């Protein structure tokens, strides 16, 4: 092999190594840009979207409301209701059955009524609107405004994973209710109630919840697999009260 041929081959190997290094650098830079886009672009897109119409609520005072509960905590009967704020059946239940229970049992201190979080619709969604709605509602509960926020969510519901409960809209709901926004934003942004929400969900699964709303009277589920009627709940409550 001649000296000139050796030099040419050596030069080609050097050029190949340099090209490989350039390709590696380009791949690394491209990966960094892609990861940055995944974290930066979605928030920017959300911020650019209009908040949209926010329907106001008529304030409905729940008897002896405290946090996510209503009624006398020493009542003979306790009702636990597992909800997902994106669930259409939960919205219908709240506007019909729940109102009757509040009027006929909770207001007279016969029943202690507790709302539990079960954001199961998020299980097949990347947006996590149910979980964020639950988190926002719990932050409102810190200001003793859970029930108003609960009503605001259902009043402004318009479909599952349809962008009704984006972070911007959830914050706008709090503003419309005139909450202390510094306190709400701090709570909401740090996902303060993530552990409690997941604990509710885990306990619900252990109790047999596989959909919402699921209603329990003194720990026993009413109409498993179905949305219970007022009559079914009333029958379960009366059976305990009349013992």
Rounded average pLDDT over 186-214: 97
pTM for the predicted model, two decimal places: 0.80
Q: Residue 234 in contact with residue 97, Cβ under 8 Å?
A: no
pLDDT of 45 higher than 50? no
21 band by pLDDT with thresholds 50, 70 and 90: confident
Q: Given pLDDT bands bounded at 50, 70 and 90, which one contains residue 41?
A: very low
- Please, what is the average pLDDT of the chain? 89
Burial of 22 (0-12, 13-18, 19+ CB in 10 A): exposed
Per-residue pLDDT reduced to its tens digit, 1-11: 566 656 666 66
Q: 85 near 118, Cβ under 8 Å?
A: no
Q: Tokens for 5, please give them.
A: 């041929």
CATH 3.40.30.10 holds for 69-241: yes
Per-residue pLDDT tens for 53-102? 999 999 999 999 999 999 999 999 999 999 999 999 999 999 999 999 99
| Segments making up each domain of the chain, as ranges | 1-48, 69-241
> pLDDT category, 34, cuts 50, 70, 90?
low
């Amino acid at each position: 092999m001649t000296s000139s041929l050796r030099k040419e081959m050596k030069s080609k190997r050097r050029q190949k190594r340099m090209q490989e290094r350039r390709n590696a650098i380009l791949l690394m830079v491209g990966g960094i840009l892609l990861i940055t886009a995944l974290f930066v672009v979605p928030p920017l897109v959300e911020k650019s979207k209009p908040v949209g119409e926010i329907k106001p609520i008529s304030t409905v005072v729940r008897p002896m409301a405290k946090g996510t509960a209503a009624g006398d905590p020493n009542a003979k009967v306790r009702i636990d209701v597992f909800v997902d704020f994106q669930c259409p059946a939960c919205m219908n239940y709240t506007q019909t059955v729940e109102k009757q229970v509040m009027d006929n049992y909770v207001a007279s201190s016969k029943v202690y009524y507790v709302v539990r979080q079960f954001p199961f619709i998020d299980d097949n969604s990347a947006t996590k609107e149910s979980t964020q709605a639950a988190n926002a509602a719990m932050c409102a509960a810190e200001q003793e405004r859970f029930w108003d926020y609960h009503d605001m969510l259902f009043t402004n519901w318009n479909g599952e994973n349809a962008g009704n409960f984006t972070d911007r809209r959830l914050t706008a709901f709090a503003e419309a209710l005139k909450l202390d926004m510094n306190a709400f934003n701090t709570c909401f942004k740090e996902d303060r109630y993530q552990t409690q929400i997941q604990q509710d969900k885990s306990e619900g699964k252990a109790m047999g919840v596989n959909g919402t709303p699921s209603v329990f009277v003194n720990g026993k589920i009413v109409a498993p697999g179905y949305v219970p009627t007022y009559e079914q709940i009333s029958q379960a409550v009366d059976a305990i009260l009349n013992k």
